[in-house]
Amino acid sequence: MEITFLGTGAGLPSKSRNVSAIALHLLQEENQIWLFDCGEATQHQILHTSIKPRKINKIFITHLHGDHIFGLPGLLSSRSFQGGDDAVTIYGPQGLRDYIVTALRISKSHLNYPITIKEIKDGTVIKEDNYTIYVKELDHGIPSFGYRIVEKDSPGELLVDKLQAKGIPAGPLYGKIKSNEYINTKDYGILYRKDFLGPDKPGKIITIMGDTRYQESFTSFVERSDVLIYEATFNAEQEDLAFQYFHSTTKQAATLAKEGNVKQLIMTHISSRYQLADYEDLLKEAREVFRDTELANDFYHHQIR
């Protein structure tokens, strides 16, 4: 699994940061891509990456502010001209359906692929073959949501020593044992996978939060995330301003990461008031609370290990 930040700014695009969009690459799922938010000019940002719009098969919208959705009609329309004919499912708050349908209808845009729009609420659970996505409502003045993506556990390592102790030589049989709950063999009888595998490997957890004020109650939602992506619109000194505008600070992002016992925090949604010279200070503020913190810039690419 990999993450590409297509837009990391807050509210307005700037010369160095476009508005919000994050791509999650599911490499084991035929290189499918899930897109989280789609601010203005997201399709332009994609042109600077190796992402193919036809690979985007799910889009998750955190909330309906323009810097998170104004690029959606354009991306959906352009996808028709870029070899995209597979279905797309779009998740987001109530009102998302009206927005998409109206934009496409008035612009007389025709999509050559089907779309399904599913409006979410607090507590929604989305189940996929290898993933479960949990939804939590945040605190942003309008309905805004976080998505916790939990990968299914995978089978543990094959215990070769146990197989050899039973006299089973290396070969195709090893793969069959790992791929099936049990197999019935002529020479060795019934072999159960559970007898020859180590503990399951826990799936990855990625939590992507929409715009929000900081709340201690979010801790259980982000707990044990391998990666927490959280907004840091303001620096630590502007906590009052962050509260007034329903946003969070660098220090609050780091505090949530620390309290949630996450492995890594990546801060995004940075106000345009901060320039390149300020980024080191923003990162320092967060790392004083939670060391494993990164500050995302546009096109920052992160591999989840």
269 a known binding residue?
yes
Q: How are beta strands 145-151 and 182-185 bridged, if at all?
A: unpaired
Q: Consult the annotation and say whether 44 binds a ligand.
A: no
* Whether the predicted pLDDT of 88 surpasses 80: yes
Is 139 one of the annotated binding-site residues?
Answer: no
Give the Cα separation of 37 and 209 in Å (integer).
11
pLDDT per position as a tens digit, 235-249: 999 999 999 999 999
Is 48 annotated as contributing to ligand binding? no
First-to-last alpha carbon distance for the chain, in angstroms, is 8
* pTM given for the model: 0.92
For residue 248, count other CB atoms closer than 10 A to its CB.
Answer: 29
| Residue 211 in marked binding region | yes
Domains of the chain: 2-154+201-303 (3.60.15.10), 160-194 (no CATH)
What's the whole-number average pLDDT of the chain?
A: 95
Indicate if the pLDDT at residue 84 is higher than 80.
no
Catalytic residue among 37, 67, 226, 298: 67
pLDDT average, residue stretch 210-214: 98
Instruction: Clarify whether 67 is annotated catalytic.
Output: yes
Query: Torsion angle, CA of 69/295/245/22, rounded to 10 degrees?
Result: 10
- Cα angle for residues 79, 81, 86 (degrees, 5° grid): 50
Task: Place 171 in a pLDDT band, splitting at 50, 70 and 90.
Answer: confident
Measure the CA–CA gap between 155 and 148, rounded to whole angstroms.
22
Would you give the distance in Å from CA 149 to the centre of its chain? Answer: 7
Pairwise CA distance, residues 97 & 91, whole Å: 9
